[in-house]
Amino acid sequence: MTGTSSTSSTGSSAAAPSQSGPPSASPPGSGRAADATRRAPRLRTPRRRTLGRPGRSVLLTVLTGLVLLYTVIPLAWLVISATKTQEGLADSSGLWFGDDFALWDNISQTFTYDDGIFLRWLLNTLLYVVLGAGGATFLAILGGYALAKFDFPGKRAVFAVVIGAVAVPGTALAVPTFLMFSKMGLTDSPWAVIIPSLVSPFGLYLMWVFATEAIPVELLEAARIDGAGEARTFFRVALPLLAPGIVTVLLFTTVATWNNYFLPLIMLKDPDWYPLTLGLSSWNSQAETIGGDVIFNLVITGSLLTIVPLIGAFLLLQKYWQSGLAAGSVKE
Amino acid sequence: MTTLRPPVAVRRSPAPSPPRRSRRSWTGWGFIGPFAVVFALVFLAPILYSIHLSLFRDQLIGGTTFVGLDNYQQALNDDQFWASLGRVSLFLAVQVPIMLGIALLIALALDSGRLYGRDFFRIAIFLPYAVPAVVATLMWGFMYGTRFGLVGDINEAFGITLPDPLSTDLVLASIGNIVTWEFVGYNMLILYAALRVVPHSLYEAAEIDGAGQLRVITAIKLPAIRGALVIATIFSVIGSFQLFNEPNILRQLARNAITTDYTPNFYTYSLSFNGQQHNYSAAVAIIMGLITMVIAYVVQLRGMRREA
């Protein structure tokens, strides 16, 4: 793994200065990548036509549509099912609405069931995301910037270890982490979920590739010559240029933390500290226990409520994270 | 003021800057330090602790004793471990090619510029990535169910009896379907992002040379995104070997079909948290980690060799 990474790193650092010449005139670094993709089609279209390139294809659209159905039908099923009562779920077809439209009732029941524990889980999840994903993104920005723009003793070792760590399976870590944390008295507390979430090797990698490209070395040199300290240079010069990369990393660490299940499952016993994922799974397994309250309608409505914020964030921020991801893929 | 200065500095910098850039300093540690500290705490320390644990054994009499590599030897002769490894290997061999194949086809279709509503397709196919594995599994679990699921609906509508997706024979395929659903869009996006940055001059040159669409794909696009494909494959291999969430949730519906040693990850979890065999569990986890790393490394080497 170290092989590719180091070769790609030299490749990118060699390419960066030559690329960063002309576009540095365009103010926010948001993206040379975005600019390039926006510009490119305009240049290409006339030539394509002269070369007789085939136009849009109905057949290809239909075939892609099949995959679209595959990804969207389960989501449609979830939305439709969230409008049904427990009885309606059993009575009616999965892909069409029942006689009863119980969505609002389901939502209010989801939030009030068991003294409003769902709201507590939602707030817990938000806490884990703000501290865990926020912290992971901040550490990845600092680390990625260091890998991209500084030469320091031990740099290669840091890089090799971090990339190697991506391949270490979660279980190899989860059990010893649990035992360690339990000796430190951290298990069954929010810290047991937040602290391991703070490290995102993938986020660091993405940020490193992005920073290599988005920050011209000359700009940093200029800031230093002007007498700015390292911290000031970072916050005033580098950070604004990294914005699209930051949105991308933040979104991916947020998904990782919001969707986290294995770690909380191991670390937490007290349902009061559960995130949404663990809470929903406990509601679902409730039906299995003898005499347990069967609340499939709440499991389904709760599931819908769990995915809505993330899907909303992805849709709202798509311009930013897609340009960040495109820049990240350049050097792969 | 400040806006005027940088260009001047840039022009002057070539002479002093090369030595400055190559000069090593500890400044970088100020930035990577915080990451390194937390990384050491949540990655390195547990790995070392895990190795330490794997060398001991808790005896009913005599407490914890050093047993050397006994735990490893036991793991290598453990049928349950090998069965779980075989299961995820089968999963890997079938699910990963299907998932990456679909992802690649969609990425190529998006990139071809021949789709109506390309942006809509891209975002809609990506959406399942935002769905937690728990929710995805609960959802599919309900749909698989004959009670109020889609399978039940289909059976009723057509008067047929489809095989039960949660039966012992089919449950692995059912898990594969869930994982494919979750990650096909994510992989599509990674590959599509890589395709977007292929220089378009290459396509124009190929077209002038009379190359067809298929030839452009095999001769230009696929080689150009080989790096991204290798990365996607490695992540998928790691993901398959770590399989836990989906079988663990689905077990609530298919208790007989999914045992607590269904995947290696599930097995180590059960050993630790149901069996209190922390030491043996650590050894199994380390063997699994080594196997994963070796395979990830082989995938990468093969990917690289073809590139060269």
* A218-233 mean pLDDT: 88
pLDDT number for residue B147: 67
Domain containing B271 equals 70-307
Q: Which of A63, A281, A326 sits opposite B197 (nearest CB)?
A: A326
pLDDT number for residue A270: 93
Q: How confident is the model at residue A122 (pLDDT cuts 50, 70, 90)?
A: very high
Q: Burial of B84 by CB count in 10 Å (0-12 exposed, 13-18 middle, 19+ buried)?
A: buried
| SS3 sequence of chain B | CCCCHHHHHHHHCCCCHHHHHHCCCCHHHHHHHHHHHHHHHHHHHHHHHHHHHHCEEEECCCEEEECCCHHHHHHHCCHHHHHHHHHHHHHHHHHHHHHHHHHHHHHHHHHCCCCCCHHHHHHHHHHHHHCCHHHHHHHHHHHHCCCCCHHHHHHHHHCCCCCCCCCCCCHHHHHHHHHHHHHHHHHHHHHHHHHHCCCHHHHHHHHHCCCCHHHHHHHHHHHHCHHHHHHHHHHHHHHHHCCCHHHHHHCCCCCCCCCCCCCHHHHHHHHHHCCCCHHHHHHHHHHHHHHHHHHHHHHHHHHHHHHC
Q: Is the ipTM of this complex over 0.95?
A: no
Q: Do the beta carbons of residue B71 and residue B282 sit within 8 Å?
A: yes
| A29 found inside a domain | no
Q: Which of A3, A75, A262 sits opposite B245 (nearest CB)?
A: A262
Q: How confident is the model at residue A328 (pLDDT cuts 50, 70, 90)?
A: low
- Reported as half-sphere exposure (CB side, CA atoms, 13 A), residue A31 has a value of 26
Q: Which of B34, B241, B249 sits opposite A139 (nearest CB)?
A: B34
Residue of B nearest to A230 (CA): B27
A113: pLDDT strictly greater than 80: yes
- Assess whether A80 and A206 both reside in one domain: no
Domain containing A69 equals 59-101
CB atoms A169 and B289 under 8 Å:
yes
Supply φ then ψ for residue B217, to 5 degrees: -65, -50
* B269-293 mean pLDDT: 88
Biggest CA pair distance of chain A: 74
| B138 found inside a domain | yes
| A22 found inside a domain | no
Return the structure tokens found at B131: 């769905």
A10: pLDDT strictly greater than 60: no
Q: Do the beta carbons of residue B72 and residue B281 sit within 8 Å?
A: no
B27 contact residues in A (CB cutoff 8 A):
150, 152, 230
- Assess whether A174 and A88 both reside in one domain: no
B18: pLDDT strictly greater than 70: no
| A168 found inside a domain | yes
Q: How confident is the model at residue A167 (pLDDT cuts 50, 70, 90)?
A: low
| A86 found inside a domain | yes
- Assess whether A193 and A127 both reside in one domain: yes
Q: How far, in Å, CA of B25 to CA of B125, rounded?
A: 46
pLDDT number for residue B238: 87
* A316-330 mean pLDDT: 72
| A48 found inside a domain | no
| B47 found inside a domain | no
Q: Of A39-43, B116-120, B304-308, which has the strongest mean pLDDT?
A: B116-120
pLDDT number for residue A46: 45
| B40 found inside a domain | no
pLDDT number for residue A198: 94
Q: How confident is the model at residue B212 (pLDDT cuts 50, 70, 90)?
A: confident
A301: pLDDT strictly greater than 80: yes
| A17 found inside a domain | no
Q: How confident is the model at residue A188 (pLDDT cuts 50, 70, 90)?
A: very high
| A26 found inside a domain | no
- Assess whether A97 and A206 both reside in one domain: no
Return the structure tokens found at B1: 């003021």
Q: Which residues pair with B65 in a beta bridge?
A: B57
B296 contact residues in A (CB cutoff 8 A):
1, 167
B36 contact residues in A (CB cutoff 8 A):
143, 158
CA angle A226, A232, A236 (to 5 degrees): 90
Mean pLDDT computed over every residue of chain B: 85
Mean pLDDT computed over every residue of chain A: 79
pLDDT number for residue B173: 94
| B54 found inside a domain | no
| B133 found inside a domain | yes
pLDDT number for residue B96: 96
Identify which of A125, A127, A129, A118 has the alpha carbon closest to the alpha carbon of residue A300: A118
pLDDT number for residue A54: 59
The domain that contains B261 carries what CATH number? Answer: 1.10.3720.10
Place of tokens 């299961």: B87
pLDDT number for residue A134: 96
CB atoms A303 and B32 under 8 Å:
no
Q: How many CB atoms lie within 10 A of CB B85?
A: 19
| B207 found inside a domain | yes
pLDDT number for residue A20: 34
pLDDT number for residue B97: 97
* CB-based contact, B148 to chain A, within 8 Å: yes
- Assess whether A242 and A188 both reside in one domain: yes
A4: pLDDT strictly greater than 60: no
Number of structural domains chain B divides into: 1
Q: How far is B161 from chain A (nearest CA, A)?
A: 16
CB atoms A266 and B116 under 8 Å:
no
| B14 found inside a domain | no
Identify which of A320, A317, A327, A310 has the alpha carbon closest to the alpha carbon of residue A75: A310
Number of structural domains chain A divides into: 2
Q: What is the DSSP string of A109-161?
A: HHHHHHHHHHHHHHHHHHHHIIIIIHHHHHHHHHHHHHHHH---TTHHHHHHH
Q: How confident is the model at residue A277 (pLDDT cuts 50, 70, 90)?
A: very high
Q: Of A52-61, A283-292, B112-121, B147-156, which has the strongest mean pLDDT?
A: B112-121
Q: Do the beta carbons of residue A83 and residue A101 sit within 8 Å?
A: yes
- Assess whether A119 and A183 both reside in one domain: yes
pLDDT number for residue B114: 87
Return the structure tokens found at B204: 């124009």
B192: pLDDT strictly greater than 50: yes
- Assess whether A203 and A279 both reside in one domain: yes
B106 contact residues in A (CB cutoff 8 A):
64, 67
Cβ under 8 Å to A: B residues 158-177 = none
Q: How far, in Å, CA of A198 to CA of A192, rounded?
A: 11
* B231-248 mean pLDDT: 90
- Higher-confidence position of A317 and A257: A257
**Which residues neighbour A57 within 8 Å (Cβ) at sequence distance 6 or greater?**
B114, B115
* B62-74 mean pLDDT: 84
CB atoms B47 and A168 under 8 Å:
yes
Q: Of A52-56, A64-68, A95-99, which has the strongest mean pLDDT?
A: A64-68
| B33 found inside a domain | no
CB atoms A169 and B22 under 8 Å:
no
Q: How far, in Å, CA of A179 to CA of B46, rounded?
A: 9
- Assess whether A154 and A84 both reside in one domain: no
| A13 found inside a domain | no
Cβ under 8 Å to A: B residues 214-233 = 227-228, 230-231
Q: Do the beta carbons of residue B243 and residue B91 sit within 8 Å?
A: yes
Question: What is each CA distance from A323 to A32, A243, A249, A277, in whole angstroms?
Answer: 9, 11, 12, 30
CB atoms A314 and B130 under 8 Å:
yes
Both ends of chain B: CA-CA distance in Å?
50
The pTM (predicted TM-score) of the whole model is 0.83
The domain that contains A119 carries what CATH number? Answer: 1.10.3720.10
pLDDT number for residue A73: 92
Q: How far is B89 from chain A (nearest CA, A)?
A: 15
